[in-house]
Amino acid sequence: MSQRLRIDGETAIFPIIGHPIGQVKSPTSLSQIMAERGYNGMVVPMHVLPADLPDWLEQAGKVRNCPGIVVTVPHKGPCLDFCARVTARARAAEAVNIMIRDHRGDWIGDATDGQGHMDGVRAEGFDVSGKSALLVGTGGAGAAIAYEILARGASELALHDIDTARRDALVTRLDAAFPGRVRIGDTDPRGFALVANATPLGMREGDPLPVRTELLTPDQFVSDVVTRPAIPPLIAQARARGCATMPGSAMFEAQAVLLAELLMGSRKIALD
C-alpha cells in the first residue's frame, strides 16, 4: 500500500535541474519511493538555464535542507566541475547526474545512467560478462553506459557516434581504464551479443534508426535509453526479428530505485 507524501518544516528538498525540464518523469516516482520508505523528502523539477547554473548551484549550496540534486541535460557535464569529488565512472563519462552533499558541505558526484541501464538489462535476463557489445551514442548517458558495460566484464565494446571527436575522446578515456577492450564501431550490429542505443533517435517521428536493424539476429539483446514512445522504433524492429530487448522505461525504473536510495542516504556513493 502506498504511503502519502508528507511535507513539513523537516522535509528534505531534492531539485532535479535541466533545460528544458518539462519532459522529466522522475519527480513523482522518486518522491513516491521516499514516501513508501518513510523518508520525509520530495524531488522537485527546476528549470535552470545554462547561463544561470553557476549562480543557482551556489545558492543551492546554502539551502540546508537540500542534501542532494538530480541533474539532467544539459547540465550533466558542467555540474562535474562543481563537485569536490566524483566517482571513477563520472570521470570517465565527464558528467554527473546526481550530487550529494557530504558532512563538510561539499558536493560528491556520480553518474548512475550506466548502472540503471545495465541493471535493467540484467533484469531482462542478459549478462554482458564475457560478451561483445556495440553502443551507439557517447554523450553523458552513453559514456556512463559504456563504462558500466566494461566494468561488468564485457570482452569488447565498440563505440559509434556521429560526433567523432566525442567518440574518440571517450575511447581514449575508457582504454586507459580497460586496456585493449574498446574500439571504434559503426551502425552494423553483426557479431555483437549486446546492441545498445544511448542516443535520442526514436523520440521523434521520422528519426533514423541508430543501427541497421535488418542485420539483427534473434540471438542478440537490444537495449535503448528512449522512454517515449514506450516501445521505441529500435525496440520494435528488434522484437520483430526475435531479439530479447529492454526499452528505456525499464532503465528508468531500475535507476529510480538507485537514485532514491542515494538521495535518502540508504546507499552511499562509492568513491575510489
Residues catalogued as catalytic: 76
Rounded Cα distance, 219 and 229, in Å: 25
Backbone angles phi, psi at 147, to 5 degrees: -60, -45
Helix ranges, the chain (H): 26-36, 53-60, 76-80, 88-93, 113-123, 140-151, 164-177, 233-240, 248-264
The bridge status of strand 12-18 relative to strand 41-47 is parallel
- Give me the residue label for grid cell 540546508: 64
Backbone angles phi, psi at 160, to 5 degrees: -130, 135
Q: How many CB atoms lie within 10 A of CB 88?
A: 15
Rounded Cα distance, 228 and 200, in Å: 10
Nearest to 210 by CA among 220, 219, 223, 229: 223
Nearest to 141 by CA among 68, 53, 74: 74
Rounded Cα distance, 4 and 31, in Å: 10
- Residue 143 DSSP SS3: helix
